[in-house]
Amino acid sequence: MKNIYHKFHIPVMGTGHSIDSPIRVAHLGISTEMSIVDDILIEKIYKYYSDKYSYPKEEFSKRDPFARSKRITAYLNLVNQIVNSKLDEIKKLPFTPQNEKTKYFELLPDESPLKKKYLYYLALGDGIEKNNLADELTSLMRAGSINVNIMSKVDRTNYAIDGTILSEEFSDAKAALRGYAESILDSSIVFSAGFNRGLLGYLTHFKDFYRDENGYVKKKIIIKVSDFRSALIQGKFLAMKGLEVKEFNIESGLNCGGHAFASQGYLLPAILQEFKTKREQLTNEFIPLIKSYYEKQKLFFDEANFKYLPLITVQGGIGTSGEALRLIEDFGCDSTGWGSPFLLVPEATCVDDDTLKLLMNAKKEDLYLSNSSPLGVPFNNLRGTGSEIWTEEKSRTSKPGSPCPKGFLISDTQYSERPICTASSQFQVKKIKDISELQISEAEKTELKNRVFEKVCLCDHLGNGALIKLGITPKMKAPQSICPGPNIVWFNREYSLKEMIDHIYGRGESLVTVSRPHMFCLELELYVDYFEKLLGTMGSTPAEIKYLETFKDNLQNGIDFILEISNRKSFPTENLKSIPNFVEEQRQRLNSFYIHKDELQLVANY
């Protein structure tokens, strides 16, 4: 991880909450990740920061089929300029208490060689050695990586002004990829939410994703995965095209923010253990394929000096420094991602004041896995947001749903030749009419209608909090949504950047209560809850019965492994003592769910 000094990063959070995180913290050496799916939001943020820092602005014609990628490129280039300018400014500062330059070094992990060099500098008396060391420290300052995220499922086909279908390169995800590829960034692109072959294949059009004559890759590839098999499949696909996956980012299926992609009962510890034991397989499988590509293309391949081992990072529900150390020291992960806690750090993320208050006061029951996403994927939600209130009010009118101003999540073709969004008024008005005409009870109609009303305009609402916070849009015109992970409930106030990073590194008093159960416990509970819900929706066919049996067996095996971990030596602030009783309670819950194979039905004995 060249020139990256921290052992954590700030992952993507919605379309707007981390949209300007690099501008806020990258000059302090902290790596961040922002979504580039919403070019309409990006253009507004681009204009805001161009004006704030007095940079010239580009204009983008709506008639230009390349406008989407151009907006993204322009914003990413602007972010890079601002970050480098801020870093240059703090490099010029002297090493005096409480300035940004001192803050840069104080935030570093204590075991960092750069931090140790800095502490040695502080211990020196005035003189030539100290002056020379100050210059050396300054020269070693690097900005955090300005990483971007593309959700692979968000890949709408687009149309020209005259209504004709544009070619594949103009689909949402590919245009976003082109926007990043044509930027000046030297960073990483993260692909999440599934395997999009066309999207990953489009990488081959851009040389920055390949090694240059010096063996350096300017734009790195990160794949977010839920298991080892997915890493192997996607890594091989890219390797056959001569492309290297710099990093596999593992995220808990349920103990995360945003869309939740539940694994088939595989818990995070079991997934990490497989990566740990099979990590070298990634290198051994990929290198021959990469070499073969170079040979076919008649390119030089320096096999003797080809050093390649993908990084393994992990995120989802990490709450204490001890848990982070468990993931790094015990499972061999290279770094950890801390998302939801940073929503309470205004120095790092862009959250409007009303939503910030909701987050600070959130209780366990306020955080829930909803069906609000038009993608049909479970979505982590927070009760009481402006979006929830607005959506409910609209459901009581003759025209429920959203006007669909952006349309990134369109998918349904029940009522039109072109796909439309299930959160849109265009869809909901027609769907409610159809439900009203069904020959079923009023109670059944109400239930079906509520399912329709549950869909939320995430395209627009997830970005509104940032627009409100920056003063771009008044809150009465911008219903705001947010998608924190369940872990946010253990953090209950606004924090400074230093407080949160000290917490991550175990410096000073922990920000969460000592009674907080271990992250492995909390993930297990979420999975048992999820399995219980599955029992109410599946089990009428042999295939569904088999799926549920496999899910339950994987959970049982995961429980055994977590209990084995609880017998290991605890890291500071890691609550291993919470595991045995908590896990046994969840095992009892799980065992109370009985699958009746013969009659092909599920009976829940609870």
Q: Evaluate the CA torsion angle 310, 316, 320, 322 in order and state its sign.
A: negative
Whole-angstrom distance, CA of residue 268 vs CA of residue 579: 15
In this predicted model, what pLDDT tens digit does every residue of 158-187 receive, in sequence order?
Answer: 888 888 888 888 889 999 999 999 999 999
Could you tell me the pLDDT band of residue 602, with boundaries at 50, 70 and 90? very low
The SS3 assignment for 595 reads strand
Sequence-distant (6+) residues with CB within 8 A of 525 are: 582, 586
Domain boundaries, the chain: 1-145, 381-511
pLDDT at residue 163, as a whole number:
81
Burial class, 348, CB count within 10 angstroms (exposed 0-12 / middle 13-18 / buried 19+): buried
**Torsion angles phi and psi, residue 268, rounded to 5:** -55, -45
pLDDT in tens, 122-137: 999 999 999 999 999 9
Tokens representing 473 are 């849009």
Backbone angles phi, psi at 258, to 5 degrees: 70, -150
Please report how the helices 542-565 and 579-591 are oriented relative to each other, as an axis angle in degrees rounded to 10.
160
User: Are the C-beta atoms of 42 and 72 separated by less than 8 Å?
Assistant: yes
For the stretch 19-48, pLDDT in tens is: 999 999 999 999 999 999 999 999 999 999
Statement: residue 597 has pLDDT above 90: no
At which residue do the structure tokens 């265009």 appear?
Answer: 426
- The Cβ of residue 570 has, within 10 Å, a number of other Cβ atoms equal to 16
User: What angle is formed at CA 519 by the lines to CA 514 and CA 520, rounded to 5 degrees?
Assistant: 130
Quick one: pLDDT at residue 595?
A: 52
Q: Are 216 and 302 in contact (CB under 8 A)?
A: no
Report yes or no on whether pTM surpasses 0.85: yes
CA gap 371, 452 in Å, rounded: 10
pLDDT tens digits, one per residue of 277-305: 999 999 999 999 999 999 999 888 887 77
Place of tokens 């019965």: 545
Cα 50 from Cα 211, distance rounded (Å): 32
List Cβ neighbours of 442 (8 Å cut-off, separation of 6 or more). Answer: none
Q: What is the pLDDT of residue 594?
A: 63
Share of the chain above pLDDT 70, in %: 97
Per-residue confidence (pLDDT) for residue 166, from 0 to 100: 84
- Quick check: 379 and 257 in contact, CB under 8 A? no
Q: What is the Cα Rg of the chain in Å?
A: 25
pLDDT tens track for 395-426: 999 999 999 999 999 988 999 988 999 999 99
